[in-house]
Amino acid sequence: MIAFADHAELHSFPTSDGSLAYRDVGTGQPLVLLHAGFYDHTMWSEQLPAFAPRYRVIAPDARGHGASANATRPFRPADDLAALLRHLDAGPAVLVGISMGGGTAVDTALEHPDLVRALVVSGVGTSEPHFEDPWSLEVLAEQNGALAAGDIEGWLNGHVRVAAGPHRSPADVDAGIARHLRAMASHTISKHTPDEPDHLVPVRQTWQRAESIGVPVLAINGALDGSDHIAMAERLVRAVPDGRAVSLENTAHFPNMESPAEFNTLLTDFLETLPN
């Protein structure tokens, strides 16, 4: 597994508000891997070498995450991604996103449709999540409370709890995966201060606009993920003209990390259905 601090192959894209870091490996049709919130591109360590022989795989660190600069002014992640893809002349691309990354993928399809060839999401619908399941609300409250109290250890434990899902205990998560999640989240949170302004500008009316997404959409859900996460992904694929969902057994919120071979097979099968 690639360590979270291994930036030896990272490239840097200068923007008007600092630089964005990204990996760019392989050749062929562009395949963009978008990480979950508080993590970084290394959560795709099992996908980068698997797909680089056939695709141009681009894996950025979102602004404020990993090795990318923090925001000092209003920004939208979809605009950052669009600027990077245009800089690399890498569109239209297949966008693959877990959690927050899936929301960014959908936002990009809505705001910059010329850059998107297809979408793959996991554990997310759009960038406007809706939580109502008691387990989801409990975990969110615990994480927010820990962060407000400066309890970083408790906040990190919450990330592992999300990775486990409601049907397992955190101890059931592979120890190597748990360490990797904690290391990525710890690195990203260390870049920020409690009084830092939130410059993130949301994309609006994403659910109402989803039916306008004119590319194929696949949801790869972890069967053990929280019901809200699964429901949002399934709502998205029902809303778009060409969408479908598949389930990956014995995984929760990060199926690409827990069952990389199976995840890669599902993604490969989907990619092979797309027209050249």
pLDDT, one tens digit per residue, over 157-179 is 999 999 999 999 999 999 999 99
Tell me, what's the pLDDT at 1?
A: 33
Write down the H helix ranges in the chain.
48-51, 77-88, 100-111, 134-148, 152-164, 175-189, 206-209, 227-239, 255-258, 260-271
* Contact by Cβ (8 Å): 54, 28: yes
Q: What is the pLDDT of residues 181-222, one digit of tens each?
A: 999 999 999 999 988 999 999 999 999 999 999 999 999 999
Amino acid found at 119:
L
Q: What is the mean pLDDT of residues 143-152?
A: 93
CB 170 within 8 A of CB 164: yes
Q: How many Cβ atoms from other residues are within 10 Å of residue 242's Cβ?
A: 13
Which pLDDT value is given to residue 6?
Answer: 45
Q: Do 132 and 141 contact (CB within 8 A), yes or no?
A: no
- pLDDT class for 7, splitting at 50, 70, 90? very low
Nearest to 93 by CA among 112, 76, 77: 112
Closest listed residue to residue 206, CA positions, set 180, 181, 231, 240: 240
The pLDDT, as a whole number, for residue 275 is 87
CATH of 11-130+199-271, one of 1.10.1740.10, 3.40.50.880, 3.40.50.720, 3.40.50.1820: 3.40.50.1820
In whole numbers, what is the pLDDT of the chain averaged over residues? 95
Q: Report d(CA 218, CA 239) in Å as an integer.
A: 12
Task: Output the pLDDT for position 9.
Answer: 85
SS3 183: helix
Query: What's the confidence (pLDDT) of residue 194?
Result: 87
Give the mean model confidence (pLDDT) for residues 248-270: 98
What is the end-to-end Cα distance of the chain in Å, rounded? 32
Give the up-direction half-sphere exposure of residue 11: CA atoms within 13 A in the CB hemisphere: 13
207 in Cβ contact with 125 (< 8 Å): yes
- Give this prediction's pTM: 0.95
User: What is the structure's pLDDT at 202?
Assistant: 97
Strands 93-98 and 116-122: parallel
Indicate whether 92 pLDDT > 50: yes
